[in-house]
Amino acid sequence: MKIEMLSTGDEVLQGDIADTNAAWCGQELNELGLSFSRRQTVADNMNDIVDALQQAAERSDWVLVNGGLGPTSDDLSAEAAARLTACELELNQDWLKQLEAWYVAQNTKMPESNIKQAMLPKGAVMVDNPIGTACGFIVEHAGAKLIFTPGVPSEFKRMLKEQWFPQLIAAAPNAQAKVKRFYTFGLSESSLSDRFNDLALPEGVHLGYRSARPSIEVKLFYPREAPEYEQLSQVVRNELADHVFTEDQGNWALHLQQLMIAQGKKLALAESCTGGMLAAELVAVAGSSAYLDRGFVTYSNQAKQQSIGVPTATIEQYGAVSIETSQAMALGALKHSEADIALSVTGIAGPSGGSEEKPVGTVCFTLAEGDKCISQQLLLSNRSRSVVRIMSTAVAMDMLRRYLTGSPVLGDYQHLKRIDSADRIL
């Protein structure tokens, strides 16, 4: 089955708006064992849109059209569909009633211009939009089905999930429809691929990789009925070993939350170069207050001393970016909180502030529980300030994940250089 996507809009074509709808849909189709044969973007020009629709219909089974269903003069998709199919636009009474009810619920008078959103090509099948004012619709032309969808991402995604994807699954029952996902940290995309070069996979089963900093996602695609699925999943799992942060869902913070709550532990944070990024990642998941006690952003030396009691002598002797200072930060966070475990991060994010001994990208980490500290100093060289902070946050989260799951806390990070480490009882 050939599926093509046509995005419309000057703002998309000119780069003012990123086409996240197309990217999302491509990923979703991939999980269904399907894919786009072609994607293109067309300006808000009637002749260009009709021409693109005609060509797409002639070479595809389904054409997904996105955008151009609003109430303004540059929203041309419905009229273009009518011209393509040589029919008139007609008022869809069902959608008009829903539009009017929507505005009543908003306690607002419906503008006359919104009636345009109920004007559909004659004979089109309406596709409901339960959360917006632009319904979708399906027309047939040149042996293809064309589905027209709104550009608002939330409306687009819900419409496809609830009303289009089920049609595709029914039309392609033999498509690969399952994906097992492994979200890894510490291995490069090329090294991951090398690990599985000699893995013999049954027909219809294959591996895919996607880099989405800081994770690299390993995907095992398999048919709906694959008796060797569990065995293959275990082979991949064994090969990846403790580099797997999570499986099937890629939210690291959610996984850490589940682990912390299951073990009944509280967490405190002491951050310097990450500037609260670690705390922000964790609290982005609802329910984090069940385990996250507090966080200290101690950017200056004075803040480290005043907020969490880092000894002045420690900073003077070893420097603010040192294993010793990171240990004092973690222990200070424990002392000044109700937490069981503390994580600390201190480093040089750049672009300035580095030295020959401690270049930009030098970052120290400590995980502490009780009087035990596990620490490491890494060099994240040749990376921007933003990437140093993102990767530092990821390393801290990975240390916590490893500690809670009984894996070695200091992971084998192929793309990061470990300068020093310490495992001490203080």
The whole-angstrom separation of Cα 402 and Cα 420 is: 18
Average pLDDT over residues 380-395: 95
**Which tops the pLDDT comparison, 192 or 222?**
192
Quote the percentage of the chain above a pLDDT of 90. 82
Burial of 303 (0-12, 13-18, 19+ CB in 10 A): middle
For residue 387, is pLDDT > 90? yes
CB within 8 A of 200, min separation 6: which ones?
A: none
For residue 98, is pLDDT > 70? yes
Report pLDDT digits (tens) over 362-383: 999 999 999 899 999 999 988 9
The whole-angstrom separation of Cα 30 and Cα 177 is: 8
Report pLDDT digits (tens) over 163-194: 999 999 888 876 656 788 999 999 988 888 88
Question: Range with the lowest mean pLDDT among 122-136, 216-230, 231-245, 338-352?
Answer: 216-230
Neighbour tally for 241: CB within 10 Å: 11
Quote the percentage of the chain above a pLDDT of 70. 98
Report pLDDT digits (tens) over 305-329: 999 999 999 999 999 999 999 999 9
The whole-angstrom separation of Cα 118 and Cα 281 is: 42
Given CATH 3.40.640.10, say whether it is the number of domain 178-247: no
In this structure, the dihedral spanned by the alpha carbons of residues 323, 327, 330 and 336, taken in order and rounded to 10 degrees, is -140
CATH node for 252-425: 3.90.950.20
The pLDDT value recorded for residue 224 is 66
Domain-by-domain residue ranges, the chain? 3-171, 178-247, 252-425
SS3 content of the chain, % helix, strand, coil (to 5): 40, 25, 35
**Which tops the pLDDT comparison, 39 or 250?**
39
For residue 342, is pLDDT > 60? yes
Q: How open is the CA angle 165-167-173, to the nearest 5 degrees?
A: 95
Rama region for 123: left / alpha / beta (φ>0; ψ in -120 to 50; rest)? left
Report pLDDT digits (tens) over 49-71: 999 999 999 999 999 999 999 99
Q: Contact 37/55 with Cβ under 8 angstroms?
A: no
Amino acid at 359: P
Residue 411: pLDDT band (50, 70, 90) is very high
Burial of 265 (0-12, 13-18, 19+ CB in 10 A): middle
> Which superfamily is assigned to 3-171 in CATH?
MoaB/Mog-like domain (3.40.980.10)
Residue 247: pLDDT band (50, 70, 90) is very high
